[in-house]
Structure 1
Amino acid sequence: MTTFSKATFDAASYLAFRPSYPLWLYDEVLTFHRTGGQGAATRAGAHFRSAWDLGCGPGISSVPLQAHFARVTGLEPSANMVASAIRIDEGAVRRYQREGGAARDGSSSSSSSSSSLAGLPAPLRTLLLHKLDTNARAGANATESKQQLGTIDYIQGFAEDLDTHCAPGSADLIVAGQAAHWFHYDRLWPVLSRALAPGGTVAFWGYAEFGLPDFPSTGPLISAFMSDPAAMGDEARAWLDKDKGVTNVGAYFERPGRTILDRGLVDVPWPWEVKGQGKADAEGDDKWDRASATRSMYSLAQLSPASRNPAWPAPSAHAESTEHTMDLVVDWSGLERYLRTASAVNNFLQQHPDDAARHGGRDVVMRFVELLKEQGPRGTEQLRLRWPLSLMMLKAKST
């Protein structure tokens, strides 16, 4: 996480070129929150007053929650991320609609800041507007916020210090998107047990190495570039031979955080699995509904074996469905910009400032993209990126 906290890290590019989370993911989380996780009827006590997003970055996972909760708060240690965070209110929605949806997203809006819908990445904007339209057509749900759009705020701070900012028993939902692999769970779970309201929900999700589902043969090459050399398969390792031209950046990810993410969050302990808790914290375990605990993989359709980690949790019922994937369609320039948001790439380039000069002006990302172009997607200008996604959820007892 220290990479993202550096003053040199480009938080605006992170927002612009990282993928947004799909609609079905929020449906999974909110259904779990309403039903208690076991497919039961809507539970009394499933409230939609307050949601917190831990390690929220620029708000990619926070903003969609505004369509469901009266108040959403993002907690993020990086000052750069907080400064770049998305701040959308109902006025921004009305302005966007009044301007004809920025000429149906033709970028004619007078504003492109993080406080305007036109300034959002298109997938995130589409998701938010879809949820608002669904709310309007369905009418106000008696259990959810009657506001069209809840308020949003961001606070600089660490997840483990949540109870400094959140009143005890006031959080109905606590999420973390692409951040759970950084937390210190001996400190965090006791904090969450105090912050959650009865019947509240914790949901953590994250994505690891991307794949190209339309070109599965590229899986080993992508792994050779992005994976930990100590953990990659033989096909990927073969790409690291000097005559192949692949420079591995996976070794430059911060670990064990990235390893936890690569393994589908299976190494994130449940509250009752944390070692060395004090008596008060151990008593806090009684707050959790252990039977509700669930951990699954999603978005696996058409991904090559090289893109799958044997340590992953069991696939969900929808894991191989093409309707339950986390995708982003980009051109080659978009792929390069996405890769440059990776902490491993940032760390590599900081430690090898002469990398481009030593390779004829082509840095490690440019060289990888050139190799990828040679492997399958010849003549293709649009690429579908797909990320395997892990999701773990747990409920607090209702009483």
Structure 2
Amino acid sequence: MATFAKSTFNASVYSSFRPTYPQQLFNNIFEYHARSNNSRQDLAVDIGCGTGQATPQLRHFGQVIGVDPSLPMVTAAQRTSTIPNIKYVQGHAENLKGIVEPDSVDLLISAQAAHWFDWGKVWPETRRVLRTGGTVAFWIYSEFRLTGYPSVTPRITQYAQGTDPKTSLGPHFQRPGRTILENLLLDVPAPTEVPGVSVSGSEGGLGDFQRVFYSGAHHPDLPHSSIIKPVEMRTTMRWRDLLGYFRTWSPLHTFHELFPDDLHVVDERFPEDLESNEEGKEDIDVRGGDIAVRFWKDLRQGVKDAGGAHGVDESVSVEWPIALLLARKV
């Protein structure tokens, strides 16, 4: 992801406001791994690890390696890491040579990075580095929703997937990666559909491939062969912190490079926010009216109209659907 590699990208701010992954997700992955007759817990690798949002959950493995192509991300992860058996290195999912040996990895994960992968290279590389009995678990979370306020969902879709480059971040996402994420990884081929990966069930190949969706009833058009589970990725955030999350979106960084004057737009809705900000106790500036603030205020207005809490320091429930790909080396 090119934005994350730029020197102007603030990895620390990114880490502060990104949502955390539910423990139930990891429990399900570890249970899947344990069902293999040859499962071990010697080496786990997190590819596309970013600042290490998911990597610490692998600490019970003997050795853990976080790998990311972005030096700012790796540096931020190294700076904040306190777990002695975890290290972070720069590298790419498509080529792990020099980072791990062939047939050595027991668990290979990727959190919120799989939509950027070159699958013609990643599936063969996964097969090469996994030990027999090893597990691969790649997942992403897609568009957020405000729990209990479906009336604002169209506004979220317009902001994130619209086509007007001046009013939506949609055109500023890198494609096709973002499209793959929006489609919940359904565009990702199964390992057996990629040359260089053995047919499922044959010696040394990737088998028991599963698509798991933690989406509840929100995506009724998912394939019948999928495993559908309740939404697990949910949190309660202050509106102030939700704005902080919006500011971590990679296309916003790009949008402001293209339209710097947007940073000086004024939006006078919710004037009471200014009093809250003047207390000097918060580090998230809620003033101004750039595209992120306008979107944030649109959502608050929608929740207000529905009778919900909308004050800058009041809370709202936020949830994300998760798409998970599982396979093992047989």
TM-score by length of 2: 0.85
Match of 1:383 among 284, 305, 316: 316
Please name the residue that 2:39 is paired with. Answer: 46
Q: 1:205-263: CA deviations, max 9, x gaps? A: 0011100112121111111111244xxxxxxxxxx8xxxxx921122111100100111
Structure 1 residues 85 and 288, CA gap change in structure 2 (3 angstroms):
same
Q: Gapped runs of 5+ residues in structure 2?
A: 268-287
Aligned equivalent of 1:32:
32
**Residue 352 of structure 1: aligned partner:** 259
Give the aligned partner of residue 21 of structure 2.
Answer: 21
Query: Which residue of 133, 139, 143 maps to 1:205?
Result: 139
Q: Which moved more, 1:13-22 or 1:370-379?
A: 370-379
Task: Check the 8 A contact 2:144/2:320 in 1, yes or no.
Answer: yes
The 5 Å alignment of 1:60-79 reads 60-66=53-59, 68-79=60-71
Matched, 1:318 2:236: no
Contact 1:296 1:313 in 2 (8 A): no
TM-superposed deviation, 1:310: 4.2
Name the Cα RMSD after superposition. 2.2
User: Contact 1:11–1:81 (CA<8 Å) still a contact in 2?
Assistant: yes
Partner of 1:297: 213
Deviations 1:365-384 (A, max 9, x none): 11111111110244331011
How many Å apart are 1:181 and its aligned residue?
0.7
CA displacement at 1:53 relative to structure 2: 0.5
Instruction: Quote how far apart the aligned CAs of 1:329 are.
Output: 1.4
Provide the secondary structure at the position in 2 that maps to 1:220. Answer: helix
Counterpart in the other structure of 1:5? 5
Alpha-carbon distance change, 33 to 159 in structure 1, aligned in 2, over 3 angstroms:
same
CA distance in 2, matches of 1:177, 1:309: 24
1:162 partner SS:
coil
| Matches of 2:213 and 2:198, distance apart in 1 | 31
TM-superposed deviation, 1:150: 6.7
Task: From the superposition, tell whether residues 201 and 228 of structure 1 become closer, same or farther in structure 2 (CA, over 3 Å).
Answer: farther
Distance change (3 Å), C-alpha of 1:309 and 1:337:
farther
Could you say which residue in structure 1 is the equivalent of 2:182?
A: 262
The answer on whether the counterparts of 1:200 and 1:395 sit within 8 Å (CA) in structure 2 is yes
The CA distance in 2 between the partners of 1:273 and 1:72, in whole Å, is 29
Whether contact under 8 Å (1:249, 1:345) holds in the other structure is yes
Q: What do the CA deviations read for 1:158-213 (whole angstroms, capped 9, x no partner)?
A: 11121331111110010100000111111122211111101101110001110011
The count of residues paired between Structure 1 and Structure 2 equals: 301
* Cα distance change, pair 315–218 in 1 and its aligned pair in 2 (3 A): farther
SS for the counterpart of 2:110 is: strand
C-alpha distance in 2, partners of 1:335/1:168?
42
Displacement of 1:313: 7.6
C-alpha change, 1:316 and 1:272, in structure 2 (3 Å) is closer
1:168 to 73, 83, 102: 102
> 2:329 aligns to what?
396
Query: How do residues 145-164 of structure 1 correspond to structure 2 at under 5 angstroms?
Result: 151-164=85-98
Q: Deviations over 1:321-379 (max 9, x none)?
A: xxx51012111111111011111211111111111324464100111111111102443
Residue 289 of structure 1: CA displacement? Answer: 4.4
Q: Return closer, same or farther for 1:263/1:312 CA change in 2, 3 Å cut-off.
A: farther
Task: Specify the SS of the correspondent of 2:260.
Answer: coil
Q: Give the match for residue 297 of structure 2.
A: 370
Corresponding residue for 2:171?
251
Change over 3 Å in CA distance of 1:178–1:282 after alignment to 2: closer
CA apart distance, 1:282: 5.0
| Equivalence for 2:250 | 343
Q: 1:332 to 1:395 in 2, by over 3 A?
A: same
Q: For 1:160, what is the secondary structure of its paired residue?
A: coil
Does the 8 Å contact 1:326/1:388 carry over to 2? yes
Matching residue of 1:85: 77
Letter in 2 for 1:288: G
1:233-244 aligned within 5 A: none
CA separation of 1:72/1:3 partners in 2, compared to 1, >3 Å: closer, same or farther?
same
Identity of aligned residues (%): 37
Q: Secondary structure at the match of 1:296?
A: strand
**Larger proportion of strand:** 2
- Structure with greater helix share of residues: 1
Distance in structure 2 (CA, Å) of the matches to 1:375 and 1:215: 8
1:86 is displaced (CA, Å) by: 5.5
